[in-house]
């Protein structure tokens, strides 16, 4: 992961990826995967997403991982909550009731640091990583969450027409990354009006990754 690239994005407020409303797919499909309110949802590479506001309002506990301290501080400011900030190995933990954000490199997050997770919500993490990191990331996520089920949102488009991030991730790659460990179910594929960043036709694809007996495998 190019740390400087993302630090510069937040330092210059170049955050077009930050949506002004909670994600529609989260709102529509979370109930199909998540247990009752009170479950702990992991949001990797979370930024200051309003999805966290929505999850907290719904009674969920949230744990996020985010590289940028600027993003984390803005998240808590937007929530109007003052966090308890403590060092956590190579990371920094921002804690408030029902919310923990681990600030730093996601590959420094361990199962012990993360704690128990009932569901992973990946809207902007996998698509933010170049191909050489996606295999490592998927394996790391499985390992630190004990193969928690996932609600995964990806973009799919002709990668030759536009450079990422967000990168294009289609059905074959989702299957290659996850089908040995999860039952992979497509939930929805929606054409993006006006194309991705207005540059090329694209769809936003939603996947449910469910634990299945005999498919846990090794990380």
CB 196 within 8 A of CB 162: yes
**How does pLDDT run along the chain (219 residues), one tens digit per residue?**
567 665 666 566 545 555 678 899 999 999 888 677 789 999 999 999 999 999 999 999 999 999 999 999 999 999 999 999 999 999 999 999 999 999 999 999 999 999 999 999 999 899 999 998 999 999 999 999 999 999 999 999 999 998 888 999 999 999 999 999 999 999 999 999 998 888 899 999 999 999 876 555 444
Tell me how long the chain is.
219
How is the beta sheet containing 91-96 ordered, strand by strand? 84-88, 91-96, 99-103, 61-66, 40-44, 119-122, 150-157, 202-210, 183-191
Domains of the chain: 3-13+23-210 (3.40.50.150)
| Burial class, 218, CB count within 10 angstroms (exposed 0-12 / middle 13-18 / buried 19+) | exposed
**pTM above threshold 0.85:** yes
């Amino acid at each position: 992961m190019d740390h400087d690239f993302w630090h510069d994005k937040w330092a210059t407020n170049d955050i077009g990826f930050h949506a002004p409303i909670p994600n529609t797919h989260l709102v529509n499909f979370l109930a199909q995967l998540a247990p009752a309110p009170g479950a702990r949802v992991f949001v990797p590479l979370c930024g200051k997403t309003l999805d966290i506001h929505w999850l907290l309002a719904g009674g969920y506990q949230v744990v996020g991982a985010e590289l940028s301290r600027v993003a984390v501080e803005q998240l808590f400011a937007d929530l109007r909550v003052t966090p308890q900030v403590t060092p956590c190995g190579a990371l920094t933990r921002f804690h408030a009731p029902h919310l923990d954000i681990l600030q730093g490199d996601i590959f420094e997050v361990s199962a012990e640091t993360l704690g128990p997770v009932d569901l992973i919500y990946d809207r902007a993490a996998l698509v933010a990583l170049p191909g050489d990191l996606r295999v490592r990331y998927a394996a790391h996520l499985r390992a630190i969450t004990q193969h928690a089920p996932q609600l995964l949102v990806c973009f799919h488009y002709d990668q030759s027409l536009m450079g990422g991030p967000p990168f294009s991730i289609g059905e074959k790659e989702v299957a290659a990354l996850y089908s040995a460990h999860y039952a992979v179910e497509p939930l929805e594929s929606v054409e993006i009006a006006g194309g991705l960043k207005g540059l090329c036709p694209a769809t936003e694809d939603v996947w449910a990754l469910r634990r299945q007996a005999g498919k846990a495998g090794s990380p």
